[in-house]
Each structure stands twice: as structure tokens, then as C-alpha cells.
Amino acid sequence: MSLKMTVTDRRFAPLFWTQFLGVLNDNVFKNTLVLMITFRELSVWGMDKAAIVALSGGLFILPFFLFSHIAGQFCDKLEKSGLIRFVKYFEVLIMLVAVVGFYTHQFGMLLVVLFAMGLHSAIFGPVKYSIIPELVPPAKLVEANAYVESGTFLAILAGTIAGGLLADLPEFWVSAAVLVIALLGVVSAHFVPRIPGGAPDLKVQYNPIPNFVALHRILNKNRAVYNSILAISWFWFFGAAILAILPVYCKDMLNVDSHVVTAFLAMFTIGIALGSILCEKLSFGRVELGLVPIGSLGMSVFVFALYFAEPSWSTDQVIGLRAFLASSVGPWMLAAFFLMCVFAGFFILPLYTLIQERSERGERSRVIAANNILNAVFMVVSSGLVMWFHAIKLSFQEMFAVLAIMNLLASIYIYTVVPEFTLRFWAWLASRFVYRIRARGEENIPKEGAAILVCNHVTYVDWMLIFAMIRRPVRFVMHYKFWGIPIIRTLMRQAGVIPIAGKKEDAKMLEEAFAQISAALRAGELVCIFPEGTITRDGSMAGFRPGIERALERDPVTVIPMALRGLWGTWFSFGHGLPFLKMPKHWLSRVDLVISVPIPATQAKAILLEAQVRSLLEGE
């Protein structure tokens, strides 16, 4: 990933810097305010510092719940660059009010400003994520999102560090900083290219109840998008709880100064930024949902590690960053926190990219608005949970342990309800660490709508490799005897594989298979068939059976021929011994999945499709 894209790309760079400056200003203001309240022992509206810190997090994200439904509609309807400029001018106005609050020491007013900054972000969020697919080609979408995510968290880091420094300085400096950053955001916003709204005729509905119903209807059109939004919302529940606990944990348990708090927050932001970049590298230019389970497991492991952390220094007096790093436990605490956040980057990046890639252009901003609403609900509940933790006198270590267990249970639930995440994980492992597979002709797979894929059959994991290389979910039709292999059977059940048998073997199963194929196609899904009917025993391709023609008689959809090359002789094939039982000669064999141009149903006869796949196998 080259940084040139954020500097020289005239379409993407202005958006990158506009969002970077907006996030920077949010965090300069928010962290300065939180540290002032925490370390100056201030009382606002009669609440103590722990309650105020939790409340401030809730105030910032409450506008996402209240106003995202309207923001999403405007983002779909209006020209996007003009809306971005409006939002940045609004930010300047907010910061002028903040200047008054800092100079008059009206911290209640500053909490209201914090709510207004949340409103600014609630409007900017849908337009930011919905405009990215309009500014970059599809092949660059994962990379662009990695930039945005890493840039966002680096801005959080810079704002956190600046907030820690400004909290100890006279109010003039924080006032000047937030106002200058807001003005720079206005400048960068004027260079964002004009992008028309995806639904210019949309009638904006201000009543939240019908809006929520409409958003729910939009999300239900694509379960993968809906489930990804639920997973993202859980991420923000978890992260908001950690960030709400952290300042008071450092002050009351560790008895460290604000610079140590800043160091922890730096690990949070650097970790997620680095995790996003590593995720982009390991995704190989595609939305790689297989990294999501790795991310959630790592998050639980390393936050649970903090349960065992005990200060190795005397807590009778406040210690600074140097003493904290010189202790035997301090660096270990920071490392655990950092690694938790690296895995969080693995978790979040594929989910945001999937939402952009699989949502319709005319509804994308409203989908992202719905995401923001659910995120807000989860974060408000998270703030309430942390306040309840304090009320029942849980120790900070117990809070971390409870969150780790909750994250593990939530992850298990998500991967049970949405098996695509788990399947993508196993497929990613097979395609990257057992084989080195690459796809050619991916553009021939339709982004939406029904189609039948046909491919040669070489190993027991052909379906998994195809699943890894195609961006959309695929339903596979495979011989029922595969279900006799325990591990394969579990994976196939999760993938919704359609078992099939020969007419002489089980006529009823055969009819049920064709009924399921028809139902999947009519639902707009991709269905993959191996028309040879069996795995090759000698490395050569057998003739195609006429079942494909029967499927097309019911549902005349496009057929896409494919060929897997380089698998014969590998561990899962019959070459050089029985699959699974022979010793693999070498790992990381080069495998190609070659995808041909679609063939209309009227021309897709078994003999023609067989010839096409043979041609792909013999090609260079």
C-alpha cells in the first residue's frame, strides 16, 4: 500500500484529508475535555468524574442514533461534495462555541459542544463511506478503506496525544487548535470531486419511525450486509466500553499520570491502524471475511490478559510514563493493549468494505446510516454497562475479564448465525497457506443476480478454493458421499452445500437437489456445479453429465465455465496416492482458477460447456 494515493490521487486524497482532519478535531476536543474533567477533579451537573467520562462517550454517539436516519437520506439524494462542505462549515461554527466554553470554564457548555461534534460526525459518516466506491475503482476499494481506517485511527492518535498535551496548557492553545483544524478541513473539502446523489428523486422522510422501518427493510434485502453491520456494532460496543474504562483505570488503579493514559490510547489507535494495513495486505485486493474470526479471537485473548495485570510499583504516589515503562509490568500491559487493537483492525476492515461492495448505489448512504444508528445503540448500551460496572463495584480487572468473555460469546454467536465468516476463514487458510491460488477473469462473475458456475473436479477442497476466490457467496452442488467425511461434512453444512445423488443411487435425493438448485437461482444466488459428477482418478477431465441442462430448463440463467489448474498430485487429490493419507510432497502449490466469459442459457449445452472448460485447462 503506497502513501501516494493519499497525496497525489486528485479524487481520493481530498476526501482522505477532510475525514482525517475531522477525526483529528473530534479527538483533540474530546480528549482535552475528558482529561481536564478527570485530572482536575471537576464536577459537572453534580456527577463525579467516572460518571462524566462515561456520559461524555454517550453524548458523542447519541446523535448517531437521533439523526443518522435523516443524514443517510440526504447523502443518497444530494450531491455529495456540497454536503461535505456544509458539514465542515458547521464544524467551524461548533468550534467557535467551544472557544467560548473553554475561556469561560463552562464545562457543561463543552459537553453540549461534544454532542454537536457527534452530530457533525453523524452527518459526515454516511457521505464518507458511500462516496469511496465512487472515487476509486473496485480493485482499489479494500486499499482505499484501509487508508481511511488507518488514517482515522492515526488521527485519533494525533488527537489523543494533542489532547493530553493541551489539557495541561492554558485554554488559548486548545481553542486555537480546534479552530485551525476546522478551517483546514473546510479547505480540503473544497477539493472533493462532485459526485451526484445515487437517488436524486428520493423524498426525505423526517419522521424517525417510518425511517427506521424503511432502513430495516433495506438491510433485510441483503443478509450479509445486515449481519456485517451487527458485527461492526458489536465491535463499537466492545471498543466504547474499553475506552470508557481506561482513563479511570489508569487514574484510580494504576495511579499514573495523563501521559500514561495517552500512551494507552496511542497503542489503541496505532494498533487498529496497523491491523487495518496488515489486513489489506493479507486480503490480496479482495474483501477477506476469513480474517474476521482471527480478529475477534485475538481481541478476546489480549483484553483477558489485562485481567492478570497487577501494578509492580507502589501506588501511593502518581508515576509518570518513564517510570511506567521502566517497571516490569508496564510494557507488558501496553503490548497486550496494542495486540488487542491490531486484531481489532483485522475484525473491522473487511466488514466495512463488504457493506460498501454489496450495498446498492442508490441505498448505500442509508445502509451506512443504519450502520451508524445500530453502532450508536450499541455504544449507548456500552456506556450504560460501564456505569453499571462502577455501580456494583466491579474491579477494573473483573471488567476486562467480563468484556473478554462477552466478546468471545458474541463471536461464537455471530459465527454460528453467519457461517460465511467461518467458511471464509477456512477457505482463506487453504488458499493462502496450503496452496498459492490466483483467479483470472474475476470480472466475468456478475456482482448480483443468479448464475450457474461449472468447473472441473480435481480434489475434495475444490469448492473451498472457489469459495475463497469469488467475492460473492456460492451454493455448491456436490455428491452426497462427501458428507461422509466428518470435517468436510461440517463445513459443507455451514456452506449450504446441496447434496446430490445419481438416479439409481437415490432418486428422491436427486429430485430434492434440483428443487434446491431452482430455489437458489430464483433467489438470485450463484450455484456451482461439477458436471463430471466425480473427482478425477487419473488427472484427466471426464465428460459432463446432462444434469446442467435439466437445471437450465427450469431456470434459464447465465452459465460461467471455470477451470482449476495445478491441483493434480496435491494432498487432497488422488494423484500419487489416496487423498489425506499420503504425505504431501510440497506445500503452496501454484493453482489457477480461470473464469471464462458467461454463456447464455440457450447455448449452454453440456457438450459445449465441457469443451469450454477443456479449453481453459489447456490454455496458458
Rounded distance between C-alpha atoms, residue 238 and residue 75, angstroms:
28
Q: Which of 271, 95, 272, 88 is nearest to 178 (CA)?
A: 95
pLDDT tens across 79-136, in order?
888 999 999 999 999 999 988 988 887 777 888 888 988 888 888 888 888 888 888 8
3-state SS assignment for residue 327 = coil
Neighbours of 540 (CB within 10 A): 10
The candidate with the shortest Cα–Cα distance to 287, out of 466, 146, 151, 464, is 146
Q: Where are the domains of the chain?
A: 11-193+212-417, 433-618
Average pLDDT value for the chain? 83
Q: Which three cell numbers stand for residue 114?
A: 461534544
CA 171 – CA 159 distance, rounded (Å): 16
Please give the C-alpha separations between residue 489 and each of 15, 400, 480, 511, 547, in angstroms, as whole numbers. Answer: 47, 37, 10, 21, 23
User: What Å distances lie between residue 310 and 248, 307, 329, 397, CA to CA?
Assistant: 16, 8, 7, 9
C-alpha cell at 467: 469459495
**DSSP state, residue 442:** G
Secondary structure class of 500 (helix, strand, coil): strand
CA–CA distance, 538 with 528 (Å, rounded to integer): 23
Residue 574: what pLDDT?
Answer: 85
CB 568 within 8 A of CB 540: no
Distance CA 538, CA 361 (A): 48
- The candidate with the shortest Cα–Cα distance to 453, out of 523, 529, 522, is 529
- Fold (topology level) of 433-618: Glycerol-3-phosphate (1)-acyltransferase (3.40.1130)
List Cβ neighbours of 213 (8 Å cut-off, separation of 6 or more).
none
Helices (H) and strands (E) in the chain, counts: 21, 7
Burial of 2 (0-12, 13-18, 19+ CB in 10 A): exposed
Q: Which residues of the chain have pLDDT under 50?
A: 1
pLDDT at 59: 79
Query: Cell numbers of 578, please?
Result: 489416496
Quick one: pLDDT at residue 612? Answer: 94
Task: Write out pLDDT tens, residues 362-371.
Answer: 778 788 888 8
DSSP E strands in 508-617: the ranges are 526-529, 559-565, 589-595
Assess contact for 292 and 347: CB atoms under 8 A: yes
Separation in Å, CA 291 to CA 240, 278, 411: 22, 10, 13
**Angstrom distances, CA of residue 305 to CA of 220, 334, 450:** 38, 11, 47
Check residue 177 and give its pLDDT. 92
Backbone angles phi, psi at 460, to 5 degrees: -75, -10
Pairing mode, strands 474-479 and 498-500: parallel
Q: Under DSSP, is residue 507 helix (H, G, I), strand (E, B) or coil?
A: helix
Give the pLDDT score at 1.
Answer: 44
Contact 454, 562 (CB under 8 A): yes
Nearest one of 127, 407, 370, 129 to 226, comparing CA atoms = 370
Fold assignment, 11-193+212-417: Growth Hormone; Chain: A; (1.20.1250)
pLDDT at 54: 65
Q: Hey, what amino acid is at 1?
A: M
Judge whether 130 and 73 are in contact, CB under 8 Å. no
Cα-based angle 72, 73, 79 (whole degrees, multiple of 5): 95
Residue 529 · residue 453 · CB < 8 Å: yes
